[in-house]
Structure 1
Amino acid sequence: MMGDVNVRVQPTPNPNSLLFHVDRRVTEKRMQQFNSADEARDTPLAEALFAIENVASIFFMPNSITVSKAAEGEWDAIAPEAEEAIRSHFSNSD
């Protein structure tokens, strides 16, 4: 058990994307990109993030996740849900 999951949210130059730094290994690959819920199938964290309304794409790097939203999405609604999905995923996999 590693304890609480530390997630730090950072804006990006693109107003439709947020970067979530995670103190856990997100992927063993150099990077993974998911442009639809269909592409995220069999990747539980990506599936959980696509379950959030207005999430358009997800980009995994070893210790971070970039979530991009649809133009009509609001970060006030998406960001807390995304952060909770990330925390929940890593809490359950410890």
Structure 2
Amino acid sequence: MFIQTQETPNPNSLKFLPGRGVLETGTMDFPSVRSAHGSPIAKRLFRLEGVKGVFLGSDFITITKVDERVDWQILKPEIFAVIMDFFASGQPVITGEPPPADTEVFEDDDETVAMIKELLDTRIRPTVQEDGGDIVFMGFEEGIVRLKMQGSCTSCPSSVVTLKSGVQNMLQFYIPEVLGVEQVQDETDEIAETEFTKFEETLKEKE
């Protein structure tokens, strides 16, 4: 297996392309080891020291490291080994049923929400996934589209710019009802951030 890497806009995230399919459909984000219970490959990757997050796409795996103190030159060979060993084992990438797509249009969605989901799916998400991340639709209330950043986008310095200048402008151009976009976090993100803060404090104590 020949694994290629691709840089992302986030210096702490790197996209790994194993040259084969990873997920059949959609994407999956694992911001912490606690969230990785449904993915054997994510659990293996979290065992590597310095890995903060794992994100799976159709043909790529994005790894986010703890911070700039973790050297990619040291971490990359370890990630290569885990990915190669995993696919050689024949284990499934995901155990159990994957969650439904966030942009699936339901019968009770009004026309505006349906249009937002369609635009996200066809015009916005493919571009973001090229950079090793994703944008998830979390809701639409009082003219504000609530979105969650995943993968390389989670802690990317340019993610706010991406939301405001890219996503918001496109949605407002096609859908006048959209007044703005807002980045949100769910409970898993908050737990992951708490764990990461504790880890950072432990590192500082060792220095």
- TM-score by length of structure 1 reads 0.87
Alignment partner of 1:24 is 2:16: no
Q: CA-atom RMSD, angstroms?
A: 1.4
Counterpart of 2:8, as a letter, is T
Structure 1: where are the runs of 5+ without partners? none
Deviates more, 1:19-28 or 1:32-41: 19-28
The counterpart of 2:11, out of the listed 11, 15, 37, is 15
The counterpart of 1:45, out of the listed 41, 48, 56, is 41
> Which is greater in Rg?
2
Match of 2:75 in 1: 78
1:34-92 deviations in Å (ceiling 9; x for gaps): 00111111311101110110101111001001100011321122111111111111111
Distance 1:67 1:34 in 2: 10
Alignment length (residue pairs): 90
Distance 1:74 1:41 in 2: 27
Q: CA deviation at 1:13?
A: 1.8
Distance 2:38 2:62 in 1: 19
Alignment partner of 1:88 is 2:93: no
Structure 2: where are the runs of 5+ without partners? 92-207
- TM-score by length of structure 2 reads 0.41
> Segments of 4+ in structure 1 off by > 4 A?
none
Structure (1 or 2) with the greater strand fraction: 1
Q: CA deviation at 1:28?
A: 2.2
Structure (1 or 2) with the greater helix fraction: 2
**For the Cα contact (< 8 Å) 1:24–1:90, is it kept in 2?**
no
Distance 1:76 1:6 in 2: 17
Q: CA deviation at 1:29?
A: 3.0
Distance 1:81 1:55 in 2: 11
